[in-house]
Structure 1
């Protein structure tokens, strides 16, 4: 017959096992719930957070895709802009979101640039997110207000050399690829131009249109309609070849700077821990929408090249571009801090 002590020990032992089992179950529950929800995903609206102000290329891409994607998924795709700190605020917010597929990040090349540009960023590009789809890319472009008296890239370099430090240019923000493109031009051309960062390409373009800043470096989409309308003068673009419906806009390479090429990508990521079934469904759906003739035409006319790539291609791009931009930033001495 068990003594009081053995009864207490046995009771205590059962109690510990029960507690451990409950703890293990509690830890497993979120993953099991996410897995169960993945089968019927999406069951409610999905939010794409764009880490820049409205009016920029990432915002434009998101809004072209959101409507038809929502129709295909059977649920609304909401675009939420959270700009600031070159995209770091919005990227960090998504990294902290529940990994269930209902909050995703639609961002630009800032995702791969910022870890090398800032002393600290609120995310690890390899650990905190999983790739979903690489939607498209666009070249960067240098533009001038017509009142600036600058009509070509050669004019810009000549004026900057004659008046060191007096010219200024707007960019979508510190660390964006348009910012880096102009900084690289400054190094290559040996000129000094003041950088005026904005919280997105939309505000940067408005500053140039209002002649608050004479120059801008931005991705092509927000500048495209303004160049076509003659409201700004396109000086040069950073693609490998001229944009198809801007035949008079030369590339930077044509303008005397060999091997000068940079583009801004637009890609969709999701927090690490998101069920693979959710990633696969979203990626497949995004690619299907991007391959629609009407969507592709809208994006081409807006200044985007459509890529429509899946997780594997996007993962390879991140692996390639993080060290590439690290080396460029280190060599040029550019810093956002």
Structure 2
């Protein structure tokens, strides 16, 4: 069985953040209030919006100089090769061409993205450090997982880059053909079914925990 879960339960997104700048908050074209863009089908459109977003967020503090004057760092709190890293490299390649300055992907994995997010929060809000990650990990930040980081105060959202879906699959030997039958089987055999995910605290893990609570 392979079935796509509803977007409100399984949907995830890539979002670009900038270190929070205290009381100076600028209006940027952040896609939460706009129609979401499918990254794989609308890559060039996303890059154009992102370039405009970065220009808007840095313009007030750099009106006297051209931005960027030097390389821009794009933090990815995950190891190379993952989905976030792949998206970051597509973005960095296109923005490097547009900005005429290098946009360098800086992978800082560890502790389920917490190490990279700490580094992003501690970076100067000067327009030269950005972080690309999933909304899931931003919302999961709490006092137990990331001491010293307050999601609403440590980051400034810049742009929604793309959306994706999670898929629920089971082994062919399991006698179920849909989610309803899977739920019924799990209730009939409590403690006998196991699942796998990318790790504790990750989006697949939290998806499964939410699924358990709802069923």
TM-score scaled to structure 2, two decimals?
A: 0.59
- CA deviation string 1:36-72 (max 9, x = no partner): 6972222332221111233443223222222112111
- Which residue in 2 is equivalent to 1:179? 205
State the distance in 1 between where 2:101 and 2:185 align.
53
The answer to whether structure 1 residue 89 and structure 2 residue 115 are counterparts is yes
Give the structure with higher Rg (CA): 1
> What residue in structure 1 maps to residue 104 of structure 2?
78
Q: Which runs of 4+ in 1 moved over 4 A?
A: 34-38, 145-151
Q: Deviation digits for residues 122-144 of structure 1, max 9, x if unmatched? A: 41122222222222222332233
Q: Return the match for 2:187 from 161, 171, 186.
A: 161
1:143 aligns with 2:173: no
Pick the aligned partner of 2:79 from 53, 60, 67: 53
- How many angstroms apart in 2 are the aligned matches of 1:151 and 1:77? 46
**Are the equivalent residues in 2 in contact too, given 1:51–1:90 (CA < 8 A)?**
yes
Return the alpha-carbon distance in structure 2 between the equivalents of residues 77 and 151 of structure 1: 46
- Aligned match for 2:95, one of 53, 69, 78: 69
In structure 1, how many angstroms separate the alpha carbons of the residues matched to 2:171 and 2:80? 21
Structure ranking higher on relative contact order (CA contacts 8 Å, 6+ apart): 2
Q: Secondary structure in 2 aligned to 1:174?
A: coil
**CA–CA separation in structure 1 for the residues paired with 2:170 and 2:125:** 43
CA spacing shift, 1:147–1:59, aligned 2, 3 Å? farther
Q: TM-score, normalised by structure 1?
A: 0.40
Aligned pair in 2 of structure 1 residues 109, 36: CA closer, same or farther (>3 Å)?
A: closer
8 Å CA contact 1:171, 1:179 repeated in 2: yes
Select the structure that is richer in helix. Answer: 1
Query: Which runs of 5 or more structure 1 residues have no equivalent in the other structure?
Result: 1-33, 190-337
Gaps of 5+ in 2: 1-59
Instruction: Kindly state the Cα deviation for residue 112 of structure 1 after the two structures are TM-superposed.
Output: 3.5
